[in-house]
Amino acid sequence: MEAQRLNKVREELERQGIDGVLISSPYNRRYVTGFTGTAGFVAITKNQAWLITDFRYTRQATEQAKAYQVEQHTGQPLEMIREKLSAAGVRKLGFEQNHLTYESYQTYVETFQGFELIPTQNIVEKLRGIKDEREQDYIRKAIEITDMAFEHILDFMKPGVSERDIATELEYFMRKNGAVSSAYPAIVASGVRSALPHGLASSKLLGRDEFVTLDFGANYEGYCSDLTRTVIIGEPTERHQEIYRIVLEANRKTLEGLKPGITGKEGDSLARDCIAGYGYGEFFGHGLGHAFGLEIHEPMRFSQQTEDRLEPGMVLTVEPGIYLPDFGGVRIEDDILVTDTGIEVLTKSNKELIVL
């Protein structure tokens, strides 16, 4: 699998007229090599590929990165890389412009004197956008764990329990059921705080007759899931029910309309137009969703600016919402896989309004 990914990187180098590329992103390093350690650089040329790491990871890298020549550095890894690339005849060297600080770039300039440094963007990320069967299996498992956690947490939530206690219980449950960790810090936002799209869990205690928004995911074998459900504690008012009904309709209409070939902008409009039609357009202020995989946010997005098109194998979120200050908010998020003919909804958790 990693050998195929290596060949695809080389095809892109050929297309761009670059002799080699230096990969510094830890996610891209893992994707192209299979190496799960936390330190190292990857250098790829037309004919050679190295994984440079330190003493802690040399054996692990040798076992995992079968398509690469693993080298152990004892000092400055970039100096070793410079020597190898120079001997390989590399003159035009690509680097990942999105993953360097200015200080790191200055180090590149000083180290690779005599090379033409060429900023590249999304060489590996573009490949990562289409998930292969193994990646899809890992994502499905992460989603399965997340769905189980949602069902579990419903019995845990009641007035007087803190948002942080709920987040902790979610993390514990997911780890006990196979997750490496949470995919990201859980959002647990209740009452007026549910109007905060990214309201991380606080010390607030759950009250009565209020929304609780749960946005969380599992990390399984390095791959993420992303689920949001909004429930209500106590009795819903007519306003609660109206907002929930609109968001659920936007969610369902979007899922019905998505298919390969439409743009991220067109997908976003499916939900945005529905919500705006009920007069709540100004209260849906974020994009409809995003791709995910090794990272919880990957480049492809559903937004009002995205002209990129859906392709089979992409995995994305669909997460419309309405957020009313001083009242509360609703978000309903599903994970989807784009297929050859449409989409598959991967998340299975109940979307009807749950009253606890």
Q: Are residues 110 and 201 in the same domain?
A: no
Q: Are residues 339 and 237 in the same domain?
A: yes
Task: Specify the pLDDT at position 75.
Answer: 84
Residue 249 lies in a domain: yes
pLDDT at 74 over 90: no
Task: Specify the pLDDT at position 2.
Answer: 87
Provide the domain count of the chain. 2
Task: Specify the pLDDT at position 281.
Answer: 98
pLDDT at 113 over 90: yes
Spatial distance between the Cα atoms of 187 and 165, rounded to a whole number of angstroms:
12
Spatial distance between the Cα atoms of 119 and 25, rounded to a whole number of angstroms:
14
Residue finishing a domain among 100, 128, 156: 128
Residue that has been written with the tokens 């019995």 in this structure: 155
Spatial distance between the Cα atoms of 202 and 206, rounded to a whole number of angstroms:
10
Strand ranges in the chain using DSSP code E only, listed in sequence order:
20-23, 41-45, 49-53, 69-72, 92-96, 116-120, 181-182, 187-190, 210-216, 218-220, 223-224, 227-233, 289-291, 298-302, 315-318, 321-324, 328-331, 334-338, 343-345
Residue that has been written with the tokens 């120079």 in this structure: 86
Residue 353 lies in a domain: no
Closest listed residue to residue 128, CA positions, set 257, 268, 26, 22: 26
Q: If pLDDT is split at 50, 70 and 90, which confidence band does 339 have?
A: very high
Q: Are residues 146 and 19 in the same domain?
A: no
Average pLDDT, the chain: 97
For the segment 149-164, the average pLDDT, to the nearest whole number, is 98
Q: Are residues 196 and 124 in the same domain?
A: no
Q: Which domain holds residue 184?
A: 133-345
Q: Are residues 198 and 92 in the same domain?
A: no
Per residue in 38-52, pLDDT tens?
A: 999 999 999 999 999
At 115, which CATH number? 3.40.350.10
Spatial distance between the Cα atoms of 58 and 316, rounded to a whole number of angstroms:
35
Residue 356 lies in a domain: no
Q: Are residues 246 and 156 in the same domain?
A: yes
Residue 354 lies in a domain: no
pLDDT at 107 over 90: yes
Spatial distance between the Cα atoms of 307 and 301, rounded to a whole number of angstroms:
9
Spatial distance between the Cα atoms of 249 and 34, rounded to a whole number of angstroms:
41
Task: Specify the pLDDT at position 136.
Answer: 98
Q: Are residues 228 and 158 in the same domain?
A: yes
